[in-house]
Structure 1
């Protein structure tokens, strides 16, 4: 196991942002999915609060995953990879005072950046009731608290707004003025997707949602190089693909009483143990375990 000190991921992320027109960051929800994103060749990893709620609580993004639970997951993810991680900090888990603690705890995990959203706290599950946003002033206070709290100036602070249309643009610009390094907006139409980068006076983080009609025929290059989005994440793609694969193999075993003959994708044992770095454990064992 290499004992070499990791490069500071915050600085690496800032460098990658400066060197590239845009970055693509599929979203992970645990250490193994983060490792898979790294092995697939991506330079940056996102995270999905929706997916973390799913794998820990088997729930949608209900806001019930606690700060300490998220910190535990993120710490393991950061330890598992050597690429920067940009994560979901929900609404800062409360008011501006909660944001202070959130930033302190998130910074300890080794993540390279995070976004805070302007939903009312405690957050609601959008499938149960309509999302409500806090005032611009309250959100700006949260952003200022986050900026003042971070010890590493390279830690990327992104402000997300769930407001619609032109209100989202106004809020995004106000959040940039308050000190956010980047903003995240959820476009509600193809027109908004195309026009937002021209209306916001700073870099934008875009979540690419599968099966949304207004994303049809748009690639990451279209969104990044042509439209001008700086970071493009895929919040659901890895999660949904994994669950589909799990259900398919489980249904096959239930129907046939054996996995033999299953024609779906399945990683072989040798590839898997390579993915989870068994060689590092063997090396460490040979070096340190004395008999």
Structure 2
């Protein structure tokens, strides 16, 4: 039986445009799969919000993240590449992170070179650990994985010129792919020609960095995997706020004009029929 890490490697070896919207729980992962995507990412930003109700500020603990990822991986048949923050500590902590993420059924992970606790660069400026310390984390991750197909992505939040230097060093150190954070459209356009390996790129609406750029456009520029880190999170949050405001104002949910599912549509999406079949097969007493 092919593993999800092997599925991911096969996707990376192909030429199709790889789009991996980012999930924050099992339900959003199922929505990504149901829409026909072959790969999902995760968003630490979204998991902080959905689990703790906080911004992406490093408060989500390693055990909370690992438990949530296991549920997400169990919910879908497509591979998931997970946000592993800064490895949850030093290189030794990173060893445990890789082991637990593999056991959770994750196909690959991102390790970033921020100082701990990490935070979203769109919230406040980031600080980076030394290149040498990050190399230790990358080597520890690569040496630890039990499945050689498990993908190690090294993310850098450094400014452009330093990010190019770090990305190429991280690839030489054993990272399978790097992730950079363009701060301008010019940086986004320039990175692929200066980095000597596959690049993971997140696209963010209305930030002025990738406006008008599709995933296919980004792949043509030289990026390998394109993610949409906030799309599921922001759309779901807007929908929740919309229906709650409607109920508060009208004292009922009848007549709600927003997009929603019927009871039967939700049961179909969530896979209720499968459990009916299991009931018939096994519940004999």
CA positional deviation for 1:154: 0.2
Q: Gaps (5+ residues) in structure 1? A: 1-5
Residue in 2 that maps onto 1:202: 197
Match of 1:216 in 2: 211
Does the aligned pair in 2 maintain the 1:116–1:160 contact within 8 Å? yes
1:216 Cα deviation from its structure 2 partner: 1.3
CA distance, structure 1, for counterparts of residue 125 and residue 183 of structure 2: 15
Deviations 1:1-50 (A, max 9, x none): xxxxx631000111011112431000000000000000001010110000
Q: What are the Cα deviations for residues 110-140 of structure 1, in whole angstroms up to 9, with x where unaligned?
A: 1111100000123246577531000001000
Distance 1:49 1:283, change over 3 A: same
3-state SS of the aligned residue for 1:258?
coil
1:48 aligns with 2:40: no
User: CA RMSD for the aligned pairs?
Assistant: 1.2
Partners of 2:138 and 2:201 lie apart in 1 by 19
Query: What is the aligned counterpart of 2:10 among 5, 15, 23?
Result: 15
Of the candidates 178, 182, 193, which is equivalent to residue 177 of structure 2? 182
After TM superposition, list the pairs within 5 Å mapping 1:127-276 onto structure 2: 129-224=124-219, 226-276=220-270
How does the TM-score come out when normalised to structure 1? Answer: 0.95
Counterpart CA distance in 2 for 1:128 and 1:78 is: 28
Offset, 1:243: 0.4
Could you list the runs of 4 or more consecutive aligned residues of structure 1 that deviate by over 6 angstroms after TM superposition?
Answer: none
* TM norm structure 2: 0.97
On the 8 A contact 2:141/2:152 being kept in 1, the answer is: yes
Say which structure, 1 or 2, has more relative contact order (CA 8 Å, 6+ apart). 1
Distance 1:130 1:214 in 2: 17
